[in-house]
Amino acid sequence: MSSRGRTRVGKYELGRTLGEGTFAKVKFARNVENGEAVAIKILDKEKIFKHKMIAQIKREISTMKLIRHPNVVRLYEVMASKTKIYIVLEFVTGGELFDKIARKGRLKEDEARKYFQQLINAVDYCHSRGVFHRDLKPENLLLDDNGVLKVTDFGLSALPQQVREDGLLHTTCGTPNYVAPEVINDKGYDGAKADLWSCGVILFVLMAGYLPFEDSNLMSLYKKIFKAEYTCPPWFSSNAKKLIKKILDPNPLTRITIAELIENEWFKKGYQPPSFQQEEINLDDVDAIFNESGESGNLVVERREERPVIMNAFELISTSQGLNLSNLFEKQMGLVKRETRFTSKRPANEILSKIEEAATPLGFDVKKNNYKMKLHGAKTGRKGHLCIATEVFEVAPSLYMVELRKAGGDTLEFHKFYKNISTGLEDIVWNSEEEEAKKTNSGTYMVTIT
């Protein structure tokens, strides 16, 4: 990895942005001491304090430090500067389980069972440590390069301190399609039973390729969930149907438990209990990163050089699912998810200017920051304002990779924006001679990574 165009934080060099949300951004990074690739979640202290998010962020960090399991993304260390908090995490290369379903459709029952077994192993362990995830869905399930499932995103998890005197949790959260009926009901719920319901929905999605509960009207969706109103497709085996019915029981008191699930005939087929060493974990350092009066010697400092980030071969491959380079340059016009990339031989400044020229007439406010740019939609869409983050990476002398990533708003609206802007960028998108010959009647395309 070249240090040019890098931000250095402690012993880590930061690379491309992997994802971002309201309070955090996740970046690819490399440990310069041992060359290890990691993901670093960067939190803005000012935003955390302003929005009174201290308790939630502390909870997320504490949760991930408590969990040491082969099916859970590992937290290596936590650092802080004067303005930011850096959470160093295991870098998982295989992408989201959701993307596997989006690309290939439903999984065969044996493959779905394998992932479901790993999911239950992780969730069971979390529960044994008093941790409830509360937002389990395929998007929060990652795969490593060996196809091993890893649970991530504990931003909505709950530690035992949040359980009230009645022994129940009382915070409504999670993604509607995956949420248990008792969570929506807002009368208190058992975090373990609610997580298991979400696991049942995930199992259904893995084997069916679609959700058991879906409706464009939120109240209609809730009614279906309350009644457990769903239909299994004909290709489900009878034992799978029976198990899903026991998990998607709208009454948490009669819903199957994880202990009972592990003894289920369908679940036990080919089951391998996890094997790993238990570790004692200390949380004493968590408070220190929020301590404004902390010793300055304990703080890390960001150092930055302003020029396009140079992306080496390893990182270029890592942008593709499962380290498969063919996916990076595969034409997939119909499969735009949350981000899209294209290559160009034009200078970086010219690329950004062209994108600005194409986006402005579509009603987007443009903010530039060196070789990055944010496009903010003026109109309020289905999920708020569409926001698109753009960054230019140098992958070879005079060859750049341009990434457009949805940072906020609706994915379908991002898809529409992508189609509209493509025409205005035709003269800067670079294709090989072979690709040029193939696109005679199809027009210019951008490479899509899901």
Q: Is residue 171 part of a domain?
A: no
Q: Is residue 165 part of a domain?
A: no
Of 62, 91, 120, the one marking the end of a domain is 91
Q: Name the binding residues for ATP.
A: 41
- Bridge-based pairing of strands 141-143 and 84-90 is unpaired
Position 311 scores a pLDDT of 61
Q: Is residue 246 part of a domain?
A: yes
Any idea which residue has 């968590």 for tokens?
286
Q: Is residue 36 part of a domain?
A: yes
80 and 188 fall within a common domain: no
- pLDDT (average), residues 3-21: 77
377 against 50, higher pLDDT: 377
> Do 169 and 210 meet the contact criterion of CB atoms below 8 Å apart?
no
- Bridge-based pairing of strands 12-20 and 24-31 is antiparallel
Of 65, 91, 117, the one marking the end of a domain is 91
As a whole number of angstroms, the distance between CA 227 and CA 221 comes to 10
> Do 446 and 423 meet the contact criterion of CB atoms below 8 Å apart?
no
What domain range includes position 67?
Answer: 8-91
- pLDDT (average), residues 143-162: 68
* Cα distances (Å, whole numbers) of residue 219 to 177, 179, 226: 12, 13, 10
Active site residues: 135
Number of other residues whose CB lies within 10 A of the CB of residue 79: 18
Position 291 scores a pLDDT of 60
243 and 120 fall within a common domain: yes
Task: Identify the burial level of 254 via C-beta atoms within 10 angstroms of its C-beta, where 0-12 means exposed, 13-18 middle and 19 or more buried.
Answer: exposed
- pLDDT (average), residues 399-414: 82
235 and 148 fall within a common domain: yes
Of 64, 91, 118, the one marking the end of a domain is 91
154 against 116, higher pLDDT: 116
Q: Is residue 295 part of a domain?
A: no
As a whole number of angstroms, the distance between CA 269 and CA 282 comes to 37
Specify the pTM.
Answer: 0.63
Number of domains in the chain: 3
Residues forming beta bridges with residue 341, ordered by sequence position: 403, 447
Query: What angle is formed at CA 232 by the lines to CA 226 and CA 237, rounded to 5 degrees?
Result: 135
Position 445 scores a pLDDT of 39
211 and 243 fall within a common domain: yes
- pLDDT (average), residues 76-94: 86
Nearest alpha-carbon partner for 39 in 84, 92, 1 = 92
Position 264 scores a pLDDT of 96
64 and 102 fall within a common domain: no
410 and 354 fall within a common domain: yes
Task: Identify the burial level of 440 via C-beta atoms within 10 angstroms of its C-beta, where 0-12 means exposed, 13-18 middle and 19 or more buried.
Answer: exposed
Q: Is residue 331 part of a domain?
A: no
> Do 31 and 71 meet the contact criterion of CB atoms below 8 Å apart?
no
117 and 49 fall within a common domain: no
Token couple for 372: 């990055």
250 and 353 fall within a common domain: no
Position 162 scores a pLDDT of 39
Q: Is residue 303 part of a domain?
A: no
102 and 238 fall within a common domain: yes
Residues forming beta bridges with residue 343, ordered by sequence position: 401
127 and 260 fall within a common domain: yes
* Cα distances (Å, whole numbers) of residue 291 to 83, 205, 360, 389, 395: 12, 43, 42, 31, 40
Supply the CATH number for residue 107's domain. Answer: 1.10.510.10
Supply the CATH number for residue 359's domain. Answer: 3.30.310.80
As a whole number of angstroms, the distance between CA 308 and CA 303 comes to 15
**From 51-60, 335-344, 373-382, 388-397, the region with the lowest mean pLDDT:** 335-344
120 and 247 fall within a common domain: yes
44 and 18 fall within a common domain: yes
Q: Looking at the predicted structure, is the pLDDT value of residue 400 above 60?
A: yes
As a whole number of angstroms, the distance between CA 298 and CA 294 comes to 7
Share of the chain above pLDDT 70, in %: 75
Q: Is residue 287 part of a domain?
A: no
Question: 355-392 pLDDT, tens per residue?
Answer: 998 898 888 999 887 778 889 888 877 667 888 989 88
- Bridge-based pairing of strands 309-310 and 384-396 is parallel
Supply the CATH number for residue 49's domain. Answer: 3.30.200.20
